[in-house]
Every structure is written in structure tokens, then in C-alpha cells.
Structure 1
Amino acid sequence: MTLDPEQLGRSKSDLAEILRELRKRAGLTGDRLARRCAMSQSKVSKIETGKVTPTLVDVERILTALEAPRELVAEVTALARIANTQWQDKRSSWRRGLEKRQAELAYLENTSSDMRYFLPAMVTGLLATPEYIKASLDNSPGDTSRTVTKKLERQAVLYDTKKSFTFLLTEQAVMWAIVPRPAMVIQVERLASLSRLPNVRLGVLPNGTSPARGPMNTFTTYDDRLATVETFAGRLVFQDPRDVIQHLAIFAAYERIALFGDEARAFLAGCVRSIIHDL
């Protein structure tokens, strides 16, 4: 399915309008439809007014209750999937201010209990040293000092033992040298140190590991309710459970072949020795 950013913006209102019109064509009241698909009448009303975005499962239940033809089911469920996807382009983030993005991430972290980070290219901000964070923002416009501060403040969440974090890093992500080599030594040693936190699992995928599929994108899952995928131009936010489950399954496949615990720390120690050798 091709996702047009403009379509992403229109899809929620379009979906609400289509579902409302289909109910009326079927000659059903909102209350009768709610009973047919085992939903509350207030939820049906909120879906039809666009106040609530239905999941694919919700939409399928409604369409089944309405006895919609197969071709219409395919069209409306495709629209529902788009409605459960958000596009956030980088230019808009820059215009709003990068620190606002940090506030959004802090909210997601504070309202989630199980977070998983797939990192094929670089170290993420939660694991990064101040120097690494500054270097990662070199291509961002304007004064990034407040963003650096916000990123560092967010790292406190790692010490909340009510939450669990799993990070998977490829060897490239560990060794991507965006800071001078002495600073890279400190960064890699920080990874090893954080891997000892009781609620943090840090896995490494060395070069030569043979996964079933290539590590294409950085992505994060927040519990089983949301997944974000990073691209050069921006990020996609998936809220439909099926999309989130798919990302969790991809994560689990890599998790099964990653190094953890003492094996991961031994690998990281070898990375440090390699960096020092090249100084």
C-alpha cells in the first residue's frame, strides 16, 4: 500500500463519513449497529463523528454488521489502515522546534512500560553521551543546545525499574563514528555500562549475523499500542494493532539472534580495543 502524506491527513474524516453513510444506507440507527457489532452506541457515534479513530478490527466488525460487499470492504479497510498511520515530516518538526519533539518522546516513554528500540545505523538518544548527542544534531537548524538538554533529561527514564527497555544495535550502530575516536570509546563503554541496569536489555548484532531480512529502518515500539519508524524525510507512526504486531514480530526475529549480557559486553569490549588500536 502506498502512503500519500496528503491522504494521511484526510483519511480520518473520510473514514468517518463513509462509515456513517454506509450505516444510513443500510437503514440502521447507531444503536442498532452498535448491538450488531458488539460495540457501545457512544463508540459508534464517536467513530462516525471522527472523534475516535477505529482500528482495522473495529472497521471489519462494522462492515460485517452492515453486510458490505467484498470490494467495498477492501476499499474501506485500506482507508482505515491509512487513518491509523501518521506522517511527521522533518521540516515540520524543525519549524515547531526540536525540543517539542523531545517532549512528545518523553510523554511516550512516561506512558509506556515496555519499549523496544531497533537501531541499525546509530545509537539512540537514551543511550548516547552528551558529545554524541551534540554531533547527531549537527545537521539540524538553529540552536540545538536546548534539545541536547532535553535529550539528556529523558535518559532518567532508564532508571525507572517499573519500565523495561530492550535495545538492539547492529555493529554499524555501535561503531558509527560521528564523534572523534576518544569520544567513541566513552560512548561504547556507556553502552556496556547501561546493559547492566536491571530493566535494560542491550543486544548486539555483529557483522556477519544472518537475519531473515535486512535491517532497513530504525523503529521503536511502545508496549503493543504504537510503533514509530524513522526515515530520512521524517517518521511514520503506526497505531493499528496489526502494524504494531508486525514490528514486534520483526523485533523478536532479530532479538533471537542477538548477543546479550556477558556476550554483548565482550563484543563491546572488542569494539573499544579496535577503536583504541586505531588511535
Structure 2
Amino acid sequence: MAIDPEELGHSKSDLAHALREIRVQAGLAGDRLARRCGMTQSKISKIETGRTIPSLVDVELILRALEVPAELAQRILDLARVANTEWQDVRALRRKGLEKKQAELAALDQSSTEIRYFLLSMLNTLLATPEYIRASLAHVPGDTTKAIAKKLERQTVIYDDSKTFTFLLTEQAVRWAMIPPRAMVMQIDRLISVSRLPNVRLGVIPLGKYIPESPLNTFTVYDNSLATVETETGIVILRDRRDIQVYRNAFAVYEGHALFGEQACERMAAWSSLFLGGL
């Protein structure tokens, strides 16, 4: 199913309306449908009024309980998948203020216990030095002071031992010189330090290693509940468990190609020495 970002805002209400209509047409009261699905009547009501976005599993249970024909059921499942996907446009995020996006990410950090980051081309906030963070926002018009402060504030979560973090960094992500050579040496030193935290696994994937799979985007997986995928023009937020599992599986594949522990530290130290040679 092709997902049109422009349609994502409408699918939630469309799904709620469709589910209510097929229940009414089936002549089944909300409480009876709830019993058939093993849900509460309150949950069915919230789904049908659009106050709750049902998972695909919830929608499948409802469709089976109502004995919906296969073709119609597939159309509604397609609608449900889009309803579980959110599109955040970069331009809109900038208009609202990037510090608000950082507050949203901080809330995700706090509510999650196991977070996986696949970093394809650059480092993320939790790993970055202040100079790297400032450089990453240098192209953004307007005052980014609040966004920088929020990014630095977010970094404290990495020291929370109740959470585990796994970072997979390509060699390109580590070595992309967004800042001058001396600052890049300091940045790589921070990566090595973070990799030694007890609740952090930091792996690097060197270039030149045979890897038949080809990653397309930077992505993050929060527990089993949410995945975010970054593109040039925005961020796709996925809540459907099947979509999340796709990214968990992809992460596991790339994790198998990564160097960890002292091997990773030695490789990053070697990359750092290349910047030292340019001083």
C-alpha cells in the first residue's frame, strides 16, 4: 500500500467512521461487539469516535467479529495502517519551533526502556558534543538557541541505568566532518566514552565490509511500541506492530555486521587519528 503523507491526517476519522458504519450495518450493539472482541465497551466507543486509534490487531478482531467480507476488510485494514502512521514535515516542525520536537523526543526517551538507534550518515543528539549539535543546526534559519539547549538537556537520559541504549553507527556517520578536525577528535572521544557506559551498546559498521543488505534511512525503535524513520523532508512515525517489527528485524541484521566493545573503540580511535593527521 502506498502511503500519501497528505492523506495521513484524514485517515483517523475515516477509520473511526468506517468501523462504526459496518457495526451499525451488521445490526450489532457496541456492548455485544465488545464482548465478541474481548474489549471493553468504552474502548469500542473511543475507537468509533476517533478518540483512540486502534492497532491493526484491534481492527482485525472487530472485522472478524462482524464477519466483514475479505475485500472490504482489506480496505479497512489498509486504512488502519495509514491511521497508525504519522508524518511530521520538517518545514512545519521548524515553524512550530524545533525545541518542541526535542521536548517530544525527550518524552519518548523517558517513557521507553529499550531504545535502538541506527545512524546512517550522522550522529544523533544523545551522542553529540555541543559543537556538533550547533553545527547540525547551522543551516536552520532563525534562532536555534532553545533547540540547542533542549538537545543538551536530553543527553542526561543516557545515564539512566533503568534504560538500555543500542547505537549502530556506520563509518560514514562517525567520520562525516560536520565540524573542524580538532572538534571531530573530541567528538569521537565522546563516542568512545559513551560506549563504555554499562547501559549502552555502541557498534560501528566499517566501510568495505561485505554487507548484502542496504540501509536507506536513519531510524529509531522505541521498545516494541513505536519506530521513527527520518527522511530529507520529514519524519515518519510508525505505530503498527508489523511495521515496527520490520525495523527491529533490520536492526538485528545490521547489528550482526557491527563491531562492539574494544574492537569498536580501537576502530574509532583509528578514525580519530586521521583527523589528528590533518591538524
Smaller-chain TM-score bracket: over 0.9
- 1:7-156 equivalent positions in 2, closer than 5 A: 7-156=7-156
TM-score, normalising length from structure 2? 0.98
Separation in structure 1 between the aligned mates of residue 268 and residue 76 of structure 2, nearest angstrom: 49
SS at match of 1:141: coil
Shift of 1:84: 0.1
Cα shift readout 1:141-170 (whole Å, capped 9, x = no counterpart):
111122111111111001110011000000
Aligned letter for 1:206? P
Give the structure 2 partner of residue 2 of structure 1: 2
Shift of 1:73: 1.2
Aligned letter for 1:152? L
Separation in structure 1 between the aligned mates of residue 210 and residue 241 of structure 2, nearest angstrom: 28
Q: Which runs of 5+ in 2 are unaligned?
A: none
- 1:202-241 equivalent positions in 2, closer than 5 A: 202-241=202-241
Give the structure 2 partner of residue 183 of structure 1: 183
Shift of 1:270: 0.7
Shift of 1:211: 3.0
Shift of 1:12: 0.5
Tell me the number of residue pairs that the alignment of Structure 1 and Structure 2 aligns: 279
SS at match of 2:179: coil
Give the structure 2 partner of residue 261 of structure 1: 261
Separation in structure 1 between the aligned mates of residue 199 and residue 45 of structure 2, nearest angstrom: 41
Separation in structure 2 between the aligned mates of residue 16 and residue 200 of structure 1, nearest angstrom: 41
Give the structure 1 partner of residue 247 of structure 2: 247
Aligned letter for 1:160? D
Q: CA RMSD in A?
A: 0.9
Cα shift readout 1:189-216 (whole Å, capped 9, x = no counterpart):
1100110000011000000233342121
Separation in structure 1 between the aligned mates of residue 212 and residue 77 of structure 2, nearest angstrom: 29
Identify which range, 1-10 or 110-119, moves more after superposition: 1-10
SS at match of 1:224: coil
Percent of aligned pairs sharing the same letter: 58
Shift of 1:74: 1.0
Shift of 1:126: 0.6
Give the structure 1 partner of residue 198 of structure 2: 198
Aligned letter for 1:211? I
Separation in structure 1 between the aligned mates of residue 37 and residue 202 of structure 2, nearest angstrom: 43
Separation in structure 2 between the aligned mates of residue 104 and residue 88 of structure 1, nearest angstrom: 12
Separation in structure 2 between the aligned mates of residue 41 and residue 149 of structure 1, nearest angstrom: 45
SS at match of 2:178: coil
Cα shift readout 1:178-233 (whole Å, capped 9, x = no counterpart):
10111111111110011000001100000023334212101111111010110010
Q: Which runs of 5+ in 1 are unaligned?
A: none
SS at match of 1:228: strand
Cα shift readout 1:69-89 (whole Å, capped 9, x = no counterpart):
111111000000000000000
SS at match of 2:118: strand
1:256–1:73 distance in 2 versus 1, CA, 3 Å: same
Shift of 1:241: 1.1
